[in-house]
Structure 1
Amino acid sequence: MKLKELSVLIGVIFIVIMLIIPLPTGLIDFLIILNISLSLIIILVAMSTKDSLQFSIFPTLLLLVTLFRIGLSVSTIRSILSKADAGNVIDTFGNYVVGGNTLVGFVVFMVLVLIQFIVITKGAERVSEVGARFTLDAMPGKQMSIDADLNAGLISDQEAKARRERIEKEADFYGAMDGASKFVKGDAIASIVIVFISMIFGLIIGMMQMGMDLGTAAQTYTVLTIGDGLVTQIPALLISTATGIIVTRAASSGSLGDDITSQLFAYPKMLYVAAITIFLLGVITPIDKFITFTVAAMIAGGAFQLTRIEKKTLHEETAAADEAEPEEDIKSPESVVSLLQIEPIEFEFGYGLIPLADTNQGGDMLDRVVMIRRQLALELGMVVPVIRIRDNIQLQPNEYVIKIKGNEISKGELLLDHYMAMSPGVDDESIVGIETIEPAFGLPAIWISEEMKEQAELSGYTVVDPPSVVSTHLTEIIKRHAFELLGRQETKQLVDHLKESYPALVEEITPNHLSIGEIQKVLKNLLKENISIRNLPVIFETLADYGPMTKDMGLITEYVRQSLSRQITKQMTTPGEPLYVITLSGVVEKKIADAIQQTEHGNFVSMDPNDSQMILQAAAEETERLSQMGQMPVILCSPAVRMYVRQLFERYLPQIPVLSYNELEANVEVQSVGVVNPS
């Protein structure tokens, strides 16, 4: 155990000993001076902190200091009542500080207690209570503000995490201070009770046990009790003041002394007003003119000096800025390096679509982006990078663009005062509007006015508001290009996250058998065919089985797909309905198998262009026919050629799933509704 931890434990144990075992007067003197010193250190630290959280241990420290002071009070009372002696420090406070006048000492003690109890403690308690309440009430708003800044690109993920942790710490701190302030209040009440008990029982013990007369007993025990009260109350007052400083302290860039001097004297003109007021007070009233004129001269002189310093500082800052800015713009490497940054995902829009992202105009685009990232994390199993949202005056007013790694992927156009309506298949001639194309899936649609919305819904049209249109479009684009967003760094984060729960599994695979880059290739292959990688434990189990056998990542991907058969089956089928598929004829599968070329960099299909063109044309005709029947086209083939069939089809039919028999569960009903067999 470290020495720091051991010292705190010993200190707590010693406080308990103080409550039980009588202490010699010399040790009591030492502990009293230590108590005053500790209280002084606490209030100085409270004044020097720039933020309340820098002294986050204060609530617990408040409890320990209060307990120490109570233990010290018990020891001093025991010594006063048993020996009529509490040491040199208490005797000094009882005789020297108040001049031996017990009545004056009692009044001073009561004034200190009342100041602490009514003014400082009561105020600190109320501020703690209100601070805790407002901090908890403001937490949801602060969290939304952090998410908005994160999605807008103003802060990084690490900064967002730090700000969230700070909000949680603030809530914990003010909640603890709300309870800890009760310690100070109880300590003030206990001080009053202890003094009265000590005085009353001191008289009784002095007269009945020690044979003193009433005057001697009253003088002896009252002086000692008042001295004990003052010795205890001064540190208590310092601690109470520190409590008030902590709970009323707002975050700033300087200590309390810096803030007071910089903010109190921030307006030199107001000091002139104060100086004139004090000067007139000396002229008009009988107050000693020497005092008022001296104070007025000091304030006016300080105002004059502050004005000179302010003008000089402003001149220096202006000159320095004029000299530094051009040099920084030209010579600073950051001015060029920052231009090299390419955002993973960007959403740019024209000035006419600003209300989408402006919360003051009712826009909720930032909140929608947060939900999109959460939805895709659940569907794809990867953390989608921050989506940067910004306006672009080069675009048309109602136009928006979606970019992936700096390249434009898709665009669209919105009419904010209209709704997009998509026909159910049978058009209603009474529904008229501006013809357009639904951007996410390329379906024909029309923009209709708000007055026609209800009629369109009654006619069976799917009616969507503009924010939902762009949200769906953005979601689909990210899904299609998710494999491009998964780099080695993102893969490393997924591996590290999995390692927290499955350390043995991860250690078996990497770095001995598969590198991060090779794992990335497998995950990208899955995402490229819209297969979620959320079930990483199953994926890594398969990598552990087949990784040591081959370095062909395409082949390993096929094994992984087969291990995810239950997931793939659920994704491709509808409960209670068969899976309608298009199969490949034996001739086509044999042609593809014969065209496989094996190289040291992997296997690929090298087929005669005429043959490949005929196969692609036949597949396109079959998938088109199935789409017209209202069914989702799925191509089913043998496991040996599935990977190569996908290679053949992915350029011309990228959205058509290609499955193998081993990727479907045995209980799935499969119906073949077409065969790819070019004549």
Structure 2
Amino acid sequence: MDFNQILNQIKTSFKNGLGIPIAILALLAMVVVPLPPFLLDVFFTFNIALSLVVLMVTLYAKRPLDFAVFPTIILLATLFRLALNIASTRVILLEGHSGPGAAGNVIEAFGEFVIGGNFAVGLVVFAILVVINFVVITKGAGRVAEVSARFTLDSMPGKQMAIDADLNAGLITQEEAQLRRIEVTSEADFYGSMDGASKFVRGDAVAGIVILFINLIGGFAIGMGQHDMTFSSAIEVYTLLTLGDGLVAQIPSLLLSTATAIIVTRVSGDKEDMTQQVQTQMFANPKALGMTAGIVAVFGVIPGMPNLAFLSFAAIAGGGAYLIYKKQQETPLPEAVSAEESEEEETSAPELSWDDVQAVDVLGLEVGYRLIPMVDQAQNGQLLERVKGVRRKVSQELGFLVPPVHIRDNLDLKPNQYKIMLMGVASGEGEVFSDKELAINPGQVFGEIAGTQTKDPTFGLDAVWIDPSDREQAQALGYTVVDSSTVVATHISQIIQDYASELLGHDEAQKLLDKLKQNSPKLVDELVPDRMSLAVVVKVLQNLLMEKVSIRDLRTILETLTERASSTQDPMELTMHVRAALGRSIVQGIVGSNDELKVITLEPGLEQLLLQASQGAPEGQLAIEPGLAERLHTTLKEEAQKVEMTGQSAVLLVAPQIRAQLARLFRFSLANLHILAYSEVPENRRISVVANVGQGG
């Protein structure tokens, strides 16, 4: 069997998942089976090369999760190194009396390199190397891994809520949210594994010290006791072999310790590896290099100092600062416009026309001048992409295409203020800081975070503006942390959902009909315009959107309208029948897949009174006393809060004839109370009455 056949068999074993098990069995065999010096040379060389590969991978990884298998690699490399230590110790103690080359050329070469003819110096150098590895690198890396694991685990709930917030705001899709959840879980698993893996590295350093003393003491005893070697000869041979064996094991150990420290101390970045981060962060400011050059130059002119070395480095640092400064100053300037061209433009101004009369934007966003970078993609602004994500998600939920959001600056606003415009009228506003992040209190946190106290502009929750560097700490305390672009995008999403009925007009409704006509032409042609005008259809759709009912199931809506068109053209009554037809999806959106529907009901006397009040009253209103309306509002609010404290949605179940009037009466004051009619509850849902409200409250 030639070398190529052996290599092909090894590749096949790894493809079949047998590579790692075979490697672990080979490690165990190395502990038991004596290895010849030639194989020791091969394995020691491979060990050093493996450690270098691991170190290079950690240097070029853009984030720790890019090398998620690192803790397992540490374990396998540590086992491999310890197995080599056992194999080399066996050879040193059995064959050491035959000379320095008994354990292979690699151990002999490293031993002679360290000792350099002086055993005392060799021992001191090896001791320093072990102390650096054990006390400095492994101890620091272990502590960082422990703290990172703790903070990562504590911040998981906040990160999960941030993902849910982005998903609900339409900033990410369901698939992207799933990937981010997997990444959060993987990050926690990684740092937890690194906390344990750092103990392997630390234990490996301790084992190296113990093995050193075993080889020295055991070698002296065996050499002089069993092989009649003189004291000086035993010291020369066994010290060289022991230090060579220790050094050839400690160098890979030091490389892996360094790799461990690098991967747990670096900051994740999606675009830069470690080299690029050092270049952009350490050498971005020429002042730092300039000041360094000046201080080093002062040392260079002091008599008695190595003037050439200091002045040379001062010149290098000064030159680097000058080059960075010149590069930063080389920014393109806008082309100048001559006075003649300007005058020509003024004289050739066109006459006023209807094109100069700007129509009111259906949806608009006005921002202060400090928020302009958030919408400028050249400055890495994320707001435009977030708004597109909001439009996409809300359009899918509501069932029609939401108009685009026109963004413009407004110098009349405060620098950090924004306004959300609907038909030219401000429907929402807030203040955000592009260089900070908003830590929102979801209701329960485990401590306070330093920052500027404020309110979430969308839902009015308590919040704190914090520095981006405090994000991990805030998430560990239970806060939901979002950036400024997400705050504005979430607010826009809420405004769109609250005023969806005003965004749907005749043109949008006609496009919906045209789209449905491609699949159900007979249904559309039979209803509009022969049996019902487009205006009535639009009003019914607007009524549904006003009560946050999706119009995605347009086919069911039109089938119901076609069925009822001959008996009524009243939009309110038609909406009642359409809601009954959409009952399954409405209830599904409230309680999910739960079979039981917990509801609040009205006493028969109160319900009969409201039925009488709805007759003869203006459309969509109830003719009841203000005192009764206030008592009803107070009682329903208390009962709804009791239901919400159990973790379920509050539902009021009433007669179909008064459902719409009650929904309009409590639309804004009791926004979390879902008002359903008896006819809207599907037959497969079990109704459980949790409260019964009467006239007295």
- TM-score, with length taken from structure 2: 0.55
User: What is the match of residue 91 of structure 2?
Assistant: 79
Which deviations, in whole Å up to 9, do the C-alpha atoms of 1:29-86 show, x marking residues without a partner? 0000000000001111111111111111111111111111100100000110011121
User: What is the match of residue 44 of structure 1?
Assistant: 56
For 1:244 and 1:38, the matched residues in 2 are separated by 17
Which deviations, in whole Å up to 9, do the C-alpha atoms of 1:121-156 show, x marking residues without a partner? 110011011111111222223233333333344433
Structure number with bigger Rg: 1
Residues 137 and 258 of structure 2 are in contact (CA less than 8 Å); yes or no, is this contact kept in structure 1? yes
Query: Which letter does structure 2 place at the counterpart of 1:249?
Result: R
Where in structure 2 are the equivalents of 1:26-105 lying within 5 Å? 26-84=38-96, 85-105=102-122
Q: Does 1:11 align with 2:15?
A: no
User: What is the match of residue 315 of structure 2?
Assistant: 297
Which deviations, in whole Å up to 9, do the C-alpha atoms of 1:190-235 show, x marking residues without a partner? 1001100110000011011112111111111111000000000001
Query: Which letter does structure 2 place at the counterpart of 1:484?
Result: I
Which deviations, in whole Å up to 9, do the C-alpha atoms of 1:430-470 show, x marking residues without a partner? xxxxxxxxxxxxxxxxxxxxxxxxxxxxxxxxxxxxxxxxx
Where in structure 2 are the equivalents of 1:476-625 lying within 5 Å? 480-485=547-552, 527-528=582-583, 532-533=587-588
Shift of 1:525: 7.3
Q: In the alignment, which of 132, 135, 138 is matched to residue 155 of structure 2?
A: 138
For 2:203 and 2:181, the matched residues in 1 are separated by 34
Residues 52 and 247 of structure 1 are in contact (CA less than 8 Å); yes or no, is this contact kept in structure 2? yes
Query: Which letter does structure 2 place at the counterpart of 1:29?
Result: D
Shift of 1:297: 2.0
Query: Which letter does structure 2 place at the counterpart of 1:157?
Result: Q
Query: Which letter does structure 1 place at the counterpart of 2:131?
Result: L
For 1:269 and 1:12, the matched residues in 2 are separated by 53
User: What is the match of residue 274 of structure 2?
Assistant: 256
User: What is the match of residue 407 of structure 1?
Assistant: 504
Residues 549 and 586 of structure 2 are in contact (CA less than 8 Å); yes or no, is this contact kept in structure 1? no
For 1:232 and 1:97, the matched residues in 2 are separated by 13
Secondary structure (helix, strand or coil) at the match of 2:500 reads strand
Residues 348 and 389 of structure 1 are in contact (CA less than 8 Å); yes or no, is this contact kept in structure 2? no
Shift of 1:9: 2.0
Where in structure 2 are the equivalents of 1:83-162 lying within 5 Å? 83-84=95-96, 85-162=102-179
Shift of 1:296: 1.9
Query: Which letter does structure 1 place at the counterpart of 2:130?
Result: V
Change in 2 beyond 3 A, CA 1:152/1:201: same
For 2:500 and 2:216, the matched residues in 1 are separated by 82
User: What is the match of residue 230 of structure 1?
Assistant: 247
User: What is the match of residue 311 of structure 1?
Assistant: 329
Where in structure 2 are the equivalents of 1:166-181 lying within 5 Å? 166-181=183-198
Q: Which region of structure 1 is more displaced relative to structure 2, 101-110 or 181-190?
A: 101-110
Shift of 1:93: 0.7
Shift of 1:274: 1.7
Residues 220 and 238 of structure 2 are in contact (CA less than 8 Å); yes or no, is this contact kept in structure 1? yes
For 1:661 and 1:151, the matched residues in 2 are separated by 27
Q: Does 1:219 align with 2:316?
A: no
User: What is the match of residue 33 of structure 2?
Assistant: 21
User: What is the match of residue 372 of structure 2?
Assistant: none
Change in 2 beyond 3 A, CA 1:302/1:165: same
Secondary structure (helix, strand or coil) at the match of 2:301 reads helix
Change in 2 beyond 3 A, CA 1:479/1:341: closer
Change in 2 beyond 3 A, CA 1:25/1:4: farther
For 1:86 and 1:267, the matched residues in 2 are separated by 53
Where in structure 2 are the equivalents of 1:323-342 lying within 5 Å? none
Residues 75 and 197 of structure 2 are in contact (CA less than 8 Å); yes or no, is this contact kept in structure 1? yes
Query: Which letter does structure 1 place at the counterpart of 2:152?
Result: T
For 2:233 and 2:268, the matched residues in 1 are separated by 55
Query: Which letter does structure 1 place at the counterpart of 2:68?
Result: S
Shift of 1:12: 1.2
Shift of 1:338: 6.0
Change in 2 beyond 3 A, CA 1:661/1:391: closer
Query: Which letter does structure 2 place at the counterpart of 1:361?
Result: T
Which deviations, in whole Å up to 9, do the C-alpha atoms of 1:473-521 show, x marking residues without a partner? xxx9779553514589xxxxxxxxxxxxxxxxxxxxxxxxxxxxxxxxx
Shift of 1:166: 2.0
Secondary structure (helix, strand or coil) at the match of 2:499 reads strand
Q: CA RMSD in A?
A: 5.2
Residues 102 and 226 of structure 1 are in contact (CA less than 8 Å); yes or no, is this contact kept in structure 2? no
User: What is the match of residue 361 of structure 1?
Assistant: 454
User: What is the match of residue 390 of structure 1?
Assistant: 491
Query: Which letter does structure 1 place at the counterpart of 2:499?
Result: I
User: What is the match of residue 465 of structure 1?
Assistant: none
For 1:340 and 1:574, the matched residues in 2 are separated by 36
For 2:309 and 2:581, the matched residues in 1 are separated by 87
Q: Structure 1 unaligned runs (5+)?
A: 320-324, 329-333, 369-385, 410-475, 489-522, 539-563, 582-616, 636-653, 666-679
Shift of 1:348: 8.0
Shift of 1:366: 4.8
For 1:340 and 1:365, the matched residues in 2 are separated by 14
Residues 355 and 362 of structure 1 are in contact (CA less than 8 Å); yes or no, is this contact kept in structure 2? no
For 2:682 and 2:149, the matched residues in 1 are separated by 61
Residues 219 and 238 of structure 2 are in contact (CA less than 8 Å); yes or no, is this contact kept in structure 1? yes
Which deviations, in whole Å up to 9, do the C-alpha atoms of 1:351-387 show, x marking residues without a partner? 686579995533485599xxxxxxxxxxxxxxxxx99
Query: Which letter does structure 2 place at the counterpart of 1:142?
Result: K
Shift of 1:101: 2.4
Where in structure 2 are the equivalents of 1:612-651 lying within 5 Å? 632-633=654-655
Which deviations, in whole Å up to 9, do the C-alpha atoms of 1:217-275 show, x marking residues without a partner? 11111110000000000010000000000000101221111222222221223222222
For 1:264 and 1:68, the matched residues in 2 are separated by 38
Change in 2 beyond 3 A, CA 1:132/1:351: farther
Residues 35 and 69 of structure 1 are in contact (CA less than 8 Å); yes or no, is this contact kept in structure 2? yes
For 2:603 and 2:504, the matched residues in 1 are separated by 42
For 1:50 and 1:388, the matched residues in 2 are separated by 29
Residues 152 and 366 of structure 1 are in contact (CA less than 8 Å); yes or no, is this contact kept in structure 2? no
User: What is the match of residue 281 of structure 1?
Assistant: 299
User: What is the match of residue 363 of structure 2?
Assistant: none
For 1:182 and 1:340, the matched residues in 2 are separated by 46
For 2:682 and 2:319, the matched residues in 1 are separated by 93
User: What is the match of residue 473 of structure 2?
Assistant: none
**Greater relative contact order (Cα < 8 A, sep 6+):** 2
- TM-score, with length taken from structure 1: 0.56
Secondary structure (helix, strand or coil) at the match of 2:17 reads helix
Residues 583 and 680 of structure 2 are in contact (CA less than 8 Å); yes or no, is this contact kept in structure 1? no
Secondary structure (helix, strand or coil) at the match of 1:260 reads helix
For 1:140 and 1:24, the matched residues in 2 are separated by 55
Residues 654 and 676 of structure 2 are in contact (CA less than 8 Å); yes or no, is this contact kept in structure 1? no
